[in-house]
Amino acid sequence: MKKKDVPQDNSKLSTKDMKELCYAVDEKGKYTTTLSTGWEPKSIALSNAIDDIDERIQRAKERVLNNITSPIEYYMELHRMDLPILASYMGMWKWRVKRHFKPSVFKKLSTNVLKKYTAIFDISIAQLQNIEDN
Amino acid sequence: MKIDFKHNQSAHCENGVVSNLLKHNGHDISEPMVFGIGSGLYFVFLPFLKVNYAPVISFRPMPGFIFKRFSKRVNIKIKRYKFRDKKKALLTLETELKNKNPVGLQVGVYNLTYFPDEYRFHFNAHNLVVYGKKEGTYLISDPVMENVTTLTEKELEKVRFAKGAFAPKGHMYYPIHYPEKLDLEKAIKKGIKSTCRDMLAPVPIVGVKGIRRVAKLIRKWPVKLGTKKANHYLGQIVRMQEEIGTGGGGFRFIYGAFLEEASVILNNPKLKELSKEITQIGDLWRDFALDASRLYKNRSSQVDGYNKVADKMAIIADKEENFFKKLKKAI
């Protein structure tokens, strides 16, 4: 890549005024570094991935409202986690966390367990019990 | 409490932290040098391991490997800590700062508040340097950032004790011992040899063979998985290849910079030629990403398009095979 060809496309990096460092070759054929504001192919891949996550969050929300799953699954998706990550934060086996996705099990969870979840998601117990309570 | 620490932005966090810590201790070693000696160039395809609901494809070795190999090859001793107790982790950090010793930390990205939201994933192998504390906040030199930044005590604890794969467990490190003279020549040769060995490994999912295998699979994806999933997988490859930290082209350009520098140190003009060659291969990787992005941008489903990007990748595999064979001979 030549230095003058280093792309300066719009990307989400600009929201925090960030630029990334790239390695490129200058006019004399020597390597140098230069900053880039972003590159479209990459931005599209990222925004597609974000769209997928948003879709998952939306689906989880509907499932909570229809009482198919518990709010824990919704908050898990909201925080871009998956089951292994959440289980690791909880210090529990995956199957136990997965069990907490059942609305009937979720209702009977002790305050201690609920508090552990609220600490991870950084929300109140009321917010955990009712996902529309913000 | 502030240590006089010079922040240099780098492409990749791991090399950047090492390079910055070494420079602080009076050893002027560039980021590409750390990357090359630590054999950072790699390719591996792990179909059985899924991240973000797509098979793992990585252009770099396991987190921490580059640093470990680099320090071994140039004979630098590193002191490392891991903690179970969060309070102890903080106390040890404070003691080091009081001794005017900037330290490297392994952290999770998700709670790094200075990153744009879109970039905050549960990735736990990011690295940064803490170089002081001022009015309750910690002074941070994150090598992928243009300027220095800060984190509060609570934020720092969160990122140091992020959970999931590669959980940092408070991992803190700094160099404690240097040899009288850094023997770069030997280290460079070792680094290059090991990279050639990896990239030419007779393992179907590693190096050139791995690239070839992925190219083959790409042709099958749209039929076997459907367009949506195929596009998601392709997007994931491009993200791994071009993500912040790669310096572009799946680290090929950083490697080019390394070979250029190495050719001067070893007084070997062949390496300069090879630096140009890997730069061209890097450009091919960029082309591949551009074509792949056209597919997932339009969410189009022409099988033809997938064959085209697969062809590009297969050509890259051939060129890289040729390249690493030549590189092996050149040293």
* pLDDT per position as a tens digit, A23-33: 999 999 999 99
Give the length of chain A.
134
> For the residues of B216-261, what is the DSSP string, one character each?
HHHHHHHHHH-HHHHHHHHHHHHHHHHSTTS-STTTHHHHHHHHHH
Q: What is the per-residue pLDDT across B237-270, written as a single tens digit (0 to 9) for each?
A: 999 999 878 888 999 999 999 999 999 999 999 9
Q: What is the per-residue pLDDT across B230-239, written as a single tens digit (0 to 9) for each?
A: 999 999 999 9
HSE-up of residue B139 (Cα within 13 Å, Cβ side): 18
Chain B residues with CB inside 8 Å of A13's CB? 116, 119
Chain A residues with CB inside 8 Å of B157's CB? none
* Regions in chain B scoring below 70 on pLDDT: 299-302
Which of A1, A13, A23, A57 best probes binding to B when mutated, by most B CB atoms within 10 angstroms? Answer: A23
- State the average pLDDT over residues A87-108: 97
List B181's β-bridge partners, or say none. none
Q: Is the pTM of this model over 0.95?
A: no
Predicted local distance difference test score (pLDDT) of residue B243: 84
Which of A21, A36, A77, A116 best probes binding to B when mutated, by most B CB atoms within 10 angstroms? Answer: A21
Which SS3 state, helix, strand or coil, does residue B266 take?
Answer: coil
Kindly state whether B282 is in contact with chain A, defined as any CB-CB distance less than 8 angstroms: yes
Option in A6, A15, A48 nearest B296 (CB): A48
- State the average pLDDT over residues A92-98: 97
Residues 104-133 of A with CB under 8 A from B: none
Predicted local distance difference test score (pLDDT) of residue A133: 66
Predicted local distance difference test score (pLDDT) of residue A12: 86
Q: Do B257 and A23 touch (CB under 8 A)?
A: yes
Predicted local distance difference test score (pLDDT) of residue B301: 61
Q: Do A23 and B236 touch (CB under 8 A)?
A: no
Contacts of B60 (CB under 8 A, 6+ apart): B40, B41, B42, B66, B246, B251
Predicted local distance difference test score (pLDDT) of residue A134: 56
**C-alpha of A43 from chain center:** 16
Kindly state whether A26 is in contact with chain B, defined as any CB-CB distance less than 8 angstroms: no
- State the average pLDDT over residues A18-44: 93
Chain A residues with CB inside 8 Å of B126's CB? none
Residues 187-246 of B with CB under 8 A from A: 231-232, 235-236, 238-239, 242-244
| Four-residue CA torsion sign, A6, A8, A12, A17 | positive
Which of B281, B291, B293, B299 best probes binding to A when mutated, by most A CB atoms within 10 angstroms? Answer: B293
Residues 153-192 of B with CB under 8 A from A: 163-165, 167
Nearest alpha-carbon partner for B127 in B31, B191, B49: B31
Kindly state whether A28 is in contact with chain B, defined as any CB-CB distance less than 8 angstroms: no
| Four-residue CA torsion sign, B222, B225, B227, B231 | negative
The C-alpha atoms of residue B137 and residue B144 are separated, in whole angstroms, by 20
